[in-house]
Amino acid sequence: MIGLYFSGTGNTKFCTEYFLDSVNPSAIAYSIEDSRAIEELSKHDEIIFGYPVYYSNLPKIVSDFIVSNSDLWNGKKLFVIATMALFSGDGAGVAARLFENYGAEIAGGLHLEMPDCIGDVRVLKRTYEKNRAIVEKTKKKITDSAEKYKLGKPTREGLNLCYRMAGFLGQRLYFMNKTKSYTDKLKINPVNCIGCGKCANVCPMNNIDVICRKAVPKNLCTMCYRCVNVCPEKAITLIGKRVIEQHDIKKYLT
Ligand SMILES: Cc1cc2nc3c(=O)[nH]c(=O)nc-3n(C[C@H](O)[C@H](O)[C@H](O)COP(=O)(O)O)c2cc1C
Ligand code: SF4
Ligand code: SF4
């Protein structure tokens, strides 16, 4: 067994590792950005696959990973974890259907509420105490789900038709285009940017160049919010106009 995940800002990494640790403490979780991920995937048949939902859909980097490795899913048994700030309908179901198209068996699904990672929109922001409580509740939910998995009765959140209708009517119908392709909407304020390069170093898409001590975005952003959350000058925005809170899961784990 292995874990595979994409995590923009740490929530999904934490959840996938926590689940894996509860089920099989010797198993290792790999980011899909890790150069060893494909080789490890081909060596294992039981996979815990985690990602954050974006508009009740897959981040483009995740759908591209699944599609570009389509020949590797046949015969694999996958348990799908979707993290979210509030609601996703069929968050786990979106990837599950794709995996099934490529011959995988879906063992189960799990939806996990976590702090909101969107640094420049106020809507889902909560207090520190509330976020801590959410993380504690999610840890308990992961432990319970892992127990069921070990007993051979895995949870199946996000996988049936009701979840699918909720995901489609609740969000995907209106936001379908948001995750269809990479975006060119990332904005970096050149006045505030000090050219430290932190954003470029963390970007999973290599979407930022630092030219003459100023960060310049390209058009291949997967909207993960990592750069927005690490910029020391709060110079980067994507959906909103101003950075409100730089999310860091570590704040809620100590
Ligand atoms: C572009 C974008 C869209 C999102 N859409 C949703 C959504 O539809 N529903 C939801 O509950 N959370 C949504 N979120 C919040 C994330 O799914 C959530 O914070 C997730 O746990 C972040 O995981 P990460 O830290 O592993 O990147 C969205 C986040 C981003 C960046
Ligand atoms: S992290 Fe912020 S300050 Fe540093 S290069 Fe990127 S945009 Fe500029
Ligand atoms: S530019 Fe920023 S938000 Fe976009 S993919 Fe890179 S790190 Fe993520």
In tens, the pLDDT along 153-211 reads: 999 999 988 878 877 777 777 677 788 899 999 999 999 999 999 999 999 999 999 99
Question: Residue 130 has what pLDDT?
Answer: 96
Percent of the chain predicted with pLDDT > 90 = 87
Q: Considering every ligand atom, which ligand is closest to the CA of 83?
A: 1
Name which of 10, 4, 9, 5 is nearest 223 in CA terms: 9
Question: Residue 64 has what pLDDT?
Answer: 97
Taking the mean position of all CA atoms in its chain, how far away is CA 83? 6
Q: Which residues pair with 192 in a beta bridge?
A: none
Task: Measure 248 CA to ligand 2 centroid, in angstroms.
Answer: 17
Question: Residue 163 has what pLDDT?
Answer: 79
Q: Judge whether residue 97 has pLDDT over 90.
A: yes
Q: Considering every ligand atom, which ligand is closest to the CA of 234?
A: 2
Domains of the chain, first to last: 2-178 (3.40.50.360), 187-240 (3.30.70.20)
In tens, the pLDDT along 68-95 reads 999 999 999 999 999 999 988 888 999 9
Lowest mean pLDDT: which of 103-112, 166-175, 243-252? 166-175
Q: Judge whether residue 220 has pLDDT over 80.
A: yes
Task: Measure 127 CA to ligand 1 centroid, in angstroms.
Answer: 17
In tens, the pLDDT along 108-151 reads 999 999 999 999 999 888 999 999 999 999 999 999 999 999 99
Handedness of CA 43, 44, 50, 54 (dihedral sign): positive
In tens, the pLDDT along 18-59 reads 999 999 999 999 999 999 999 999 999 999 999 999 998 999
Question: Residue 124 has what pLDDT?
Answer: 86
- Residue closest via CA to ligand 2's atom 7 equals 193
Question: Which of 12, 227, 230 best tests ligand 3's pocket when mutated (most atoms within 8 Å of CB)?
Answer: 227
Q: Considering every ligand atom, which ligand is closest to the CA of 185?
A: 3
Give the separation between CA 146 and CA 164, rounded to whole angstroms. 23
pTM: 0.96
Question: Residue 197 has what pLDDT?
Answer: 98
Residues with Cβ within 6 A of ligand 2?
188, 193-199, 210, 215, 231-233, 235-236
- Residue closest via CA to ligand 3's atom 6 equals 203
In tens, the pLDDT along 225-238 reads 999 999 999 999 99
- Residue closest via CA to ligand 3's atom 2 equals 227
- Residue closest via CA to ligand 2's atom 1 equals 231
Beta strands, E only, the chain: 2-5, 29-31, 46-52, 77-84, 105-113, 187-188, 208-211, 214-217, 236-237
Question: Residue 165 has what pLDDT?
Answer: 81
